[in-house]
Amino acid sequence: MPDAFADLVGQDEAVDTLRRAAAAAAAVLRAPQGGPQPAVNGTDPGAGMTHAWIFTGPPGSGRSVAARAFAAALQCVHGTGCGQCPGCHTTLAGTHADVRLVVPDGLSIGVNEMRALVLRAASTPSGGRWQVVIIEDADRLTEAAGNALLKAVEEPPPRTVFLLCTPSTHPDDISVTIRSRCRVVPLVQPVPEAVAEVLVRRDGIAPDVARWAAAATQGHVGRARRLASDPQARARREAVLAVPRRLTSVGAAFDAASALIEAAEAEAEATVVEVDAAERAALETALGAGGTGRGAASAARGSAGQLKELERRQKSRATRAQRDALDRALVDLAAFYRDALTIAIGAPVAPVHTDTAELADAGARNWQPEGALRRLEAVLACRTAIEANVKPRIAVEAMMLALWKG
Ligand SMILES: [Zn+2]
């Protein structure tokens, strides 16, 4: 039977570390009260268990999968992450009472959210094992939220474990002081073969489709699964990969920019519209919309404030969803020019997009290595600009012009 770590693809070293830590954590729980306690501290990778962890790795490498698997192993009645016991099961299903998952849905995690979380994390675990707090995208903590977290990480309650996920340990992603209190588990980009294997085994996807999707998404497990199983995801990718062919004039470059932006907006809209409507309906019901009795006027003023706050959060989430969708498109586009570049210099590596190999081949001949490299750099510069808050349309238009001019 697959255990809690089964979906952590191609990460043997990290899984080893986490299994050892889970065993050490179980030993801590077994140690008799009042007797000598096994140590729970330190950032030394040789040590068994510690209170604060950072999972780093490129997008899609499985940072949050690793954090959840480790949380399951900590709550596992066997202390191993067997994948079958109630502790494992509820943790992996997201319903364990002592495992809190923070998934920021806006552009940043605020201080109020973090304070409330830290407070609850300090309580005694109801299941008698550990209080686990998983913070996905910990790089989106505001500075104030980071400080609130730092206090908890500096003086952790004895049974509380923080699991943070960030792209890297660069100071842009996580503060140096938090980093210094955590043990780091670096994840690597899984090889496409390992991703294809899990798509076949876990999701029942046909082997040839799994191999194609794993290569086309460069080892990003979640995207590979979506590409293999969702026709809309395929259509979006095809539209992006048609861009290089469409760039025949200045006008075409602006058209391509508009199309890319609008596709990202539509994709983002589709992901947030339902949950936005549900949240608004729930809040309106809770506020008793339409009341007319005594106090209704002041209640209405309070409601307006709450609705405004909800709208602000929803807008922030929509912006994030748009940026994420656009970034996925840019990653696909960058990989096309990377394919052209590797062909132009005769590098012995497999293409990312096997289905546009002919187009990449033609590009390599026309552009030479220098031209392919300039185009690849234009796409990467566009990603960097958007990350630095340049308006997406402006960044994408500049990129399209650079791709057209070469
Ligand atoms: Zn278990």
Separation of CA 158 and ligand 1 centre (Å): 22
| Tens digits of residue pLDDT in 394-403 | 999 999 999 9
Residue 218: the pLDDT is: 87
**Is the predicted pLDDT of residue 109 greater than 90, yes or no?**
no
Separation of CA 32 and ligand 1 centre (Å): 22
Residue 128: the pLDDT is: 87
- In 10 A of CB 20, how many CB atoms? 15
Residues 307-329 have a mean pLDDT of 85
| Tens digits of residue pLDDT in 288-315 | 755 555 555 666 667 788 888 888 878 8
**Is pLDDT larger for residue 273 or for residue 62?**
62
**Is pLDDT larger for residue 48 or for residue 148?**
148
Separation of CA 277 and ligand 1 centre (Å): 37
Separation of CA 358 and ligand 1 centre (Å): 49
Separation of CA 75 and ligand 1 centre (Å): 7
Residue 289: the pLDDT is: 59
Separation of CA 185 and ligand 1 centre (Å): 22
**Is the predicted pLDDT of residue 15 greater than 80, yes or no?**
yes
Residue 36: the pLDDT is: 54
What confidence category does residue 38 fall into, taking pLDDT thresholds of 50, 70 and 90?
low
Mean pLDDT score across all residues of the chain: 88
Separation of CA 23 and ligand 1 centre (Å): 12
Residues 100-114 have a mean pLDDT of 78
Which one, of 30, 9, 4, 7, lies nearest residue 19 by Cα? 4
Separation of CA 77 and ligand 1 centre (Å): 5
Separation of CA 89 and ligand 1 centre (Å): 7
Separation of CA 73 and ligand 1 centre (Å): 6
**Is the predicted pLDDT of residue 107 greater than 90, yes or no?**
no
Residue 96: the pLDDT is: 94
Separation of CA 91 and ligand 1 centre (Å): 9
Residue 4: the pLDDT is: 93
**Is pLDDT larger for residue 38 or for residue 322?**
322
Residue 33: the pLDDT is: 63
Of 12-21, 23-32, 375-384, the poorest mean pLDDT is in: 23-32
Separation of CA 81 and ligand 1 centre (Å): 4
Residue 319: the pLDDT is: 84
Separation of CA 255 and ligand 1 centre (Å): 54
Q: pLDDT above 70 covers what percent of the chain? A: 92
Separation of CA 76 and ligand 1 centre (Å): 4
Separation of CA 90 and ligand 1 centre (Å): 10
Separation of CA 153 and ligand 1 centre (Å): 26
Separation of CA 22 and ligand 1 centre (Å): 11
pTM of the model: 0.72
Structure tokens at 349: 């590596």
